Amino acid sequence: MTHSHPERSNPVLADAGLNYEVMLHKVMLHNKTILIIGSTNGIGRAAYKLCADYGAHVIGVGRSSEAGEAIAREHGGRFITLDVTDDDALTNMFEELARKNVALDGAINNAAMSHDAVPINEHKLELFDRVFALNVRSMFHCLQHEIRAMRPNGGAIVNIASIAGRRGYAGLSIYSASKHAVIGLTRSAALDCAADNIRVNVVCPGSTRTEMFERQMETRPGGAEGTIRGIPLGRISEPEEPAAAAVWLLSDQASFITGETLTTDGGRTIA
């Protein structure tokens, strides 16, 4: 069955030279400047494209200059090559944006890593330090800079966590702990900057078709097939799906939402 969309054929809109898609773009992120930390693959890459499609000026950040510059060429905007765990480099980037009078309207913090599914007693402390340096410490540092940059005019920030931040998973103790931390960080940040009209929310994707997920499935019990069996909707998410949730939270359509945890997991956590 097909569904009609009367607004797409509305003669008034047609006479004005408008269509449904153009109106949607203007409503969502038209002319906003959006920073995406971790924009070269997976959910971050999908979010970059969506933000650009919805009319935003996008600034992508990541370690792969080749991948990042290719995205910027394809979708517009600009890319900054940066290791976000480098404190000085991150601070310098935000200072440079301020010197150029770049006013941020929104940000998505997506940079993260996972690890093989291994029992907690077999993990090495070095791995714990690496995961937390990227997944938690760098996000904390990004949040500090983003909030300072948005304070004059307000804005919106979305952190990308995981359903592993809402429950435990065998073998993923370090990753799960880091994503629990992201949720707690988001809720506290939302309270700290609400008076400045800055909203901070978190998206918790479930199993999503990314390079990180594919690697993780090689060591997860039951692999991808076992994971899919536990998802009520019966499939793995595409990166565009959690990215769309994040982009919506950035938009004015979510103007009264802050400190919220939005889960995109096909029903996995309620099964």
Catalytic residues: 175
Task: Report how far residue 120's alpha carbon sits from residue 231's, in angstroms, rounded to the nearest whole number.
Answer: 25
Q: Which residues pair with 204 in a beta bridge?
A: 263
Q: Which of 134, 122, 245 is nearest to 173 (CA)?
A: 122
The type of residue at 179 is K
The amino acid at 178? S
CB 255 within 8 A of CB 235: no
The HSE-up count of residue 246 (CA atoms within 13 Å, CB side) is 33
Task: Determine the residue type at 248.
Answer: W
Q: Which residues contact 168 (CB under 8 A, 6 or more apart)?
A: 176
Cα 211 to chain centroid distance, Å, stands at: 15
Q: In this structure, are residues 61 and 39 in contact, taking their beta carbons and an 8 Å threshold?
A: yes
